Amino acid sequence: MSFKKSLLIMLQLFLFMLFINGCGEECSFTTTMAVEGKVAKGSIRGATIKIYALPDIKLLATTLTDQDGKYKANIEEFDGIVKVESSGGSYIDESDGQEKDATILSLKAISVINSTNNTVNITPLTKLSADKLENEIGLHNIDKSKIYEVIKENVEVALVMIGEEFDVTKVTPQIVNEEPITDSFEGKYGLILADISDLSNSDASKVEEVVEQLYEEKADDTILQTQDNNPPVSQITDVVNSEMTESN
């Protein structure tokens, strides 16, 4: 190695050490992660997405959904509970095939995320679950000690509305008239969203009311089925515990 090259390497090391020593806490490197999902009542495109950390409701990121209703935003690495809100945008109604303004829907979701469990989908069902959590616990009280309650509520909404046990914020619904509907959690999720369109006569202003009424009707049936053990719902705890394991 030549003297000039050795001198250059030593100079580079010297400058690097000066940078490290003089940097201090101001130069700490931040690890980031992505939060992503789909906004669906039909695929809602052009919606504004805001991601908040709970319980302090700190805004972590803002982004928009694409033509398929999907969004993705980078945030500082986070392990806990978030509230994700969707406002504005438009969608093609599954029932009448017409474009609808999604502003009145004001959809949201409350979900548990970390760097390996970072999906948060937003639908009328996740709004129902989020409303129930806010009413029962209080938004400022939804901290990491409430992870079990958050997942359990998201799973119970799927159980009542769809008859399946999964987290409505984690499973991405297949959209009627936009993609093939399979016999799966995703397909059944998409079918209930289409049913909501039919029951609301494709009127976005009636979606929330229809969802609440449908939940009340189906909840009564679910309670009766549970009492008769046909089918039993004891597996819900297993579903919640499994997702909690993924979140740890």
Identify whether 173 is preceded by a cis peptide bond (ω within 30 of 0). no
What pLDDT shows up at residue 112?
97
Give strand ranges (E) for the chain.
Answer: 32-38, 48-53, 58-64, 70-76, 80-87, 90-92, 99-101, 108-113
Q: Residues 166, 129: contact at Cβ < 8 Å?
A: no
What pLDDT shows up at residue 13?
64
Q: Residues 65, 45: contact at Cβ < 8 Å?
A: yes
d(CA 113, CA 65): 19
Residue 166 phi/psi, 5-degree rounding, is: -155, 165
pLDDT in tens, 33-74: 999 999 999 999 999 999 999 999 999 999 999 999 999 999
Give the residue extent of every domain in the chain.
1-26, 32-247
d(CA 205, CA 106): 10
For residue 206, pLDDT over 50 is answered with yes
d(CA 40, CA 119): 14
Q: Extract long-range pairs of 210-216: CB within 8 Å, 24+ residues apart.
A: 211/124, 211/125, 211/127, 211/128, 212/128, 214/161, 215/128, 215/157, 215/160, 215/161
Residues 6 or more apart from 99 whose CB is under 8 A from it?
90, 91, 92, 93
Q: What dotted CATH number matches 32-247?
A: 2.60.40.10
Q: 3-state DSSP call for residue 119?
A: strand
Tokens for 28, please give them.
């700490």
What pLDDT shows up at residue 232?
45
For residue 137, pLDDT over 70 is answered with yes
pLDDT in tens, 75-96: 999 999 999 999 999 999 999 9
Q: Which residues of 79-99 are buried (b: 16+ CB within 10 A; e: fewer)?
A: ebbbbbbbbbbbbbbbbeeee
User: Cα angle at 238 between 111 and 139, to 5 degrees?
Assistant: 25
What pLDDT shows up at residue 29?
63
Q: Extract long-range pairs of 59-63: CB within 8 Å, 24+ residues apart.
A: 60/35, 61/35
Q: What is the percent of the chain where pLDDT is above 90? A: 75
Q: What pTM did the predictor assign? A: 0.83
Question: Which single residue is written with the structure tokens 């009311």?
Answer: 209
Q: What is the CA radius of gyration of the chain?
A: 23
